[in-house]
Amino acid sequence: MSKRSYPSGSEKRKKALHQKEVIEKLPKLTSYFTTTTGETSVSSNQLINVPHDDSAQLQIAGISKPSCSNFEKEIESESDYSYDESATTSVTSLKPTTPTVSIEQQFSNTEELISHDPADYFHEKFVEINREILIRKGPVYFQNKDSDFSEASRTYKDGNKLVTRYFNKALFIRKLKNNESVERKWLLYSPSKCSVFCFSCCLFNPTDVNLCSRNGCNDWKHINHIILTHENSPAHKQSMITYLARSKAARETRDEALSLSRKMRNLEFIILTEIWSTILERIDKTSNYLQKETITLDVATNLLTSLYDFITNLRDKFDNFESSAKENNPESDYKDLSQRTRRRSSRQSFFDGSAPSVQLNGKERFNVETFLPIIDTLSVHLKQRQSSYEIVSQRFSLFFHLKTLNSEEIRQGCKEFSQIYHEDVNEKERVPLQST
């Protein structure tokens, strides 16, 4: 009998229980992004007196231009991550700063925070947040069926005698003509107001009449007739339809939030968060420099080259991202490690031969199928952009080096420039250079 190659049901349950116990240690998504205390700025002194080559400082129109090396140093000094081999193995520091609770706990702990009394919500200061709370909890949470209804008793005069009436718990059930019983989940009792409310009408169609009012209804003498008339009214039916639609949407939103919370516990999700935080931070800073009005084509080209080298060097830094993710979330692990391993079918093995099948799991699979494609795709597109800038920069390089070129080099450069842009520049109209 072959040895089990996947966890048993008991092991899965123990692991799920353990994961549930460590939910409190999981940080929020926002804690993975580092915040800066101030905006990156470049003074006018940083944009002058920078040479474009090794021999001289070039000036165009009397204004000195910046070199790419200074821009690169500023970008790299502001980045939290360096791909230098001598750097530490940690990537960006993404430590959470405040203790957090998971989405599951936020939903499960609401019963301890939200009042059961509907009168706390149905008042003149009723706002949208109250409506969302009531919809999420549902009407049953606010019914208060086990309250002491004798506290809401009222005395009525019946002929020559006084009769005490109060709300009856049996009113939460409606008897149909076929003797079927249906719960009136929309009917709520308020211990503080000693009155009853209609859940859906107070939410979407409040009025000043009986069950739809802010004070509710406590006319116990006619309460049976009031409830029957109300639940058969078109306004009540319409408000119930509106509530059911909103409730379904709220349930879907909650399910999506819980699903996202479960995904965030996977090591793959945490690693991707750190990867994109590092990449996007560097791209954003490079983009800000490229948008400056004083930047030249040769500097822009070198900045894109620097960004391309930065992204390419990340290809060998997967271990750094993984170790940082595990340091921040030691209980997280790769998703496929807890799943059953798929085997090749015997029929396929028979036709393909006896070569051993290769299956990637955990770290190797995520590195090959996710991390490397991200880096390679970015590198390809950045290389295309950098090449376009480089072509244009070479064509106009003549104007950046006028101070260092001799007459023959300038004459040859003008000839090549006029050949490229022959529709805009006529070579015969060139002014002869005066020999100095």
What are 62-97's pLDDT values in tens digits? 334 444 555 555 565 554 444 444 333 333 444 444
Q: Is 326 helix (H, G, I), strand (E, B) or coil?
A: helix
**DSSP letter at 101?**
-
Question: Does residue 182 register a pLDDT over 90?
Answer: yes
248 vs 362, higher pLDDT: 248
Q: Which of 110-119, 133-142, 375-384, 389-398 has the lowest mean pLDDT?
A: 110-119
For residues 83 and 310, the answer to whether their CB atoms sit within 8 Å is yes
Tokens of residue 365, six digits = 């699979």
Alpha-carbon distance values, 245 to 3, 214, 219 (Å): 51, 24, 31
User: b/e per residue, 87-96, with b = 16+ CB within 10 A?
Assistant: eeeebbebee
Dist CA 122 CA 234 (whole Å): 22
48 vs 230, higher pLDDT: 230
pLDDT score recorded for residue 129: 84
Alpha-carbon distance values, 159 to 153, 155, 156, 225, 227 (Å): 19, 13, 10, 21, 25
Question: 325-366, pLDDT tens digit by residue?
Answer: 888 888 777 876 655 555 655 555 555 555 555 567 778 888
Global model pTM greater than 0.75 = no
For residues 389 and 297, the answer to whether their CB atoms sit within 8 Å is yes
Amino acid at 366: F
Mean pLDDT of the chain: 76
Give the residue from 237, 239, 235, 199 showing the smallest Cα distance to 216. Answer: 199
358 vs 289, higher pLDDT: 289
Sign of CA dihedral 11, 13, 19, 24: negative
Beta-bridged to residue 197, according to DSSP, are 188
Q: Which of 119-123, 202-206, 329-333 has the lowest mean pLDDT?
A: 329-333
Dist CA 436 CA 431 (whole Å): 15
Dist CA 286 CA 367 (whole Å): 26
Dist CA 246 CA 240 (whole Å): 10
Taking the mean position of all CA atoms in its chain, how far away is CA 280?
A: 15
Amino acid at 78: E
Question: Does residue 28 register a pLDDT over 80?
Answer: no
Q: Which of 205-214, 254-263, 268-277, 333-342 has the lowest mean pLDDT?
A: 333-342
Element holding 158 (H helix, E strand): strand 154-158
For residues 154 and 165, the answer to whether their CB atoms sit within 8 Å is yes
Dist CA 279 CA 43 (whole Å): 25
Q: What are the residue ranges spanned by the domains of the chain?
A: 9-98+265-341+357-404, 109-257
